[in-house]
Structures are given as C-alpha cells and as structure tokens.
Chains A and B, each alone.
Chain A
Amino acid sequence: GAGVSQSPSNKVTEKGKDVELRCDPISGHTALYWYRQSLGQGLEFLIYFQGNSAPDKSGLPSDRFSAERTGGSVSTLTIQRTQQEDSAVYLCASSPPPSQYNEQFFGPGTRLTVL
C-alpha cells in the first residue's frame, strides 16, 4: 500500500479485556512510532522502534502496555486488562531512513473504546 495502515479502525471492548492493535508501516521505513491521542488532546508519545528494537519505551503509560515489531515491518501494540482511561485514538507513524531527518507519515489510527 501507499501509506501507513492500521487495523482495526475501530475497536470496542469491555473493561478488563486485552486488545491488540496493528500497524503496517510504509515499505522501507525503518522507524515506527506509536502515539495516543485522547479526545481533544495532543499526541502522547508511547514508543518507537528502530528496526525491530525499541530503544525508547519511556512513553508507555503502564506495564499493561507492550509493543513488538517483527521483520522490521509490522508492529503490534497490546493493551492488557484494558481500563476506561485507555479509550483514545492510537496512531502509528513511520519514517524513512535516515530517520532523524525525516518527517513521520501517519496512519489513520485505531479508535479504542473501553466500556
């Protein structure tokens, strides 16, 4: 595909359930980012990957959040035992190398609603 894709586009879950959010970056992009955007708020950095490694996990809000990236491509953000405060839009972005000079290309996001 031409852009970053994310799935599902919408996810409604019950409190306490686990969810997995998927991101497919643009082919060839080495850096991948996850952000969270709560209603009417800015972007909250969660984690980024350079290749398959995550040098910076400082933004993950709790140990219920984890992410992995395989094959330098697809990434999955997992939220365990979801809470209502996890409700937000989760955005994924990728950057081509050399990543530090380039802008991020964003996906359409996954809207998560925890009931």
Chain B
Amino acid sequence: AQKVTQAQTEISVVEKEDVTLDCVYETRDTTYYLFWYKQPPSGELVFLIRRNSFDEQNEISGRYSWNFQKSTSSFNFTITASQVVDSAVYFCALRTENTGNQFYFGTGTSLTVIP
C-alpha cells in the first residue's frame, strides 16, 4: 500500500526563522515520484517540486530546499529565512509506477509565519 505521512499538523514560526516540514512515505515500488504542493489561503494548490526515486540529489531553489533520503523514506522540505508569504498549507504527495496515475497525498502541514 502507498501512504504519505505528514506528522506536523500545524507549525508557527517567526519571520526569518528556518522551518522544516517533514514527509515520510511508504511504498514497495522501486520506481516512484514525490511531490510538494503549496496551498495558500486563496486555495489553489501550486506545484513546487517533483523528485523521482532514482535521484536522491538534494535540491535548492532560492529559499526552498528539499532533502530526499531513501534510507528513511523521507522527503523533507526546508524554508530558509521564512517570510509571511510562506504561510500556507503544504502537501507532500506520492505516485508510483505500479499505481498508475493515482496520487497519494499527505494530510498537509499548515505553516504560519508570524511577522
């Protein structure tokens, strides 16, 4: 079975602090894809990043970075020097080669950045 766990339901940080959002996934498939989406208060989900299971290289994009570790089945997301505009709900998702087009989403982490 496929599953994504985001154990942190809500996080609050003060502006300029760094924050890491955790994502742990479960799958028996060897080929899979992991995603992060941002859902701001406006409601529309925005794609942030996709990683495939064969590429464990960490990625940095501006203030965002992602740490993919197959050994711990984790795909954590770090925001450096957080800003108020980062306040949103963040979802981690998984799809695998053998589950076709179905995505499995975590329950999301609500991040509030306090000015």
Contact = CB atoms under 8 A, between A and B. Distances in A.
A100 B107 contact: no
Interface string B35-67: 101000011111100101000000000000000
Nearest to A101: B33
Interface residues of A, number: 26
Contacts of B102: 45, 48, 56
B101 A42 contact: no
B35 A31 contact: no
B32 to A, nearest CB: 10
A95 B33 CA distance: 14
Contacts of A41: 107-108
A42 B44 contact: no
B35 A42 contact: no
A20 to B, nearest CB: 20
A25 B65 CA distance: 30
Nearest to B48: A103
Nearest to B35: A103
Nearest to A106: B45
Interface of B: 33, 35, 37, 42-47, 50, 52, 91, 95, 97, 100-108
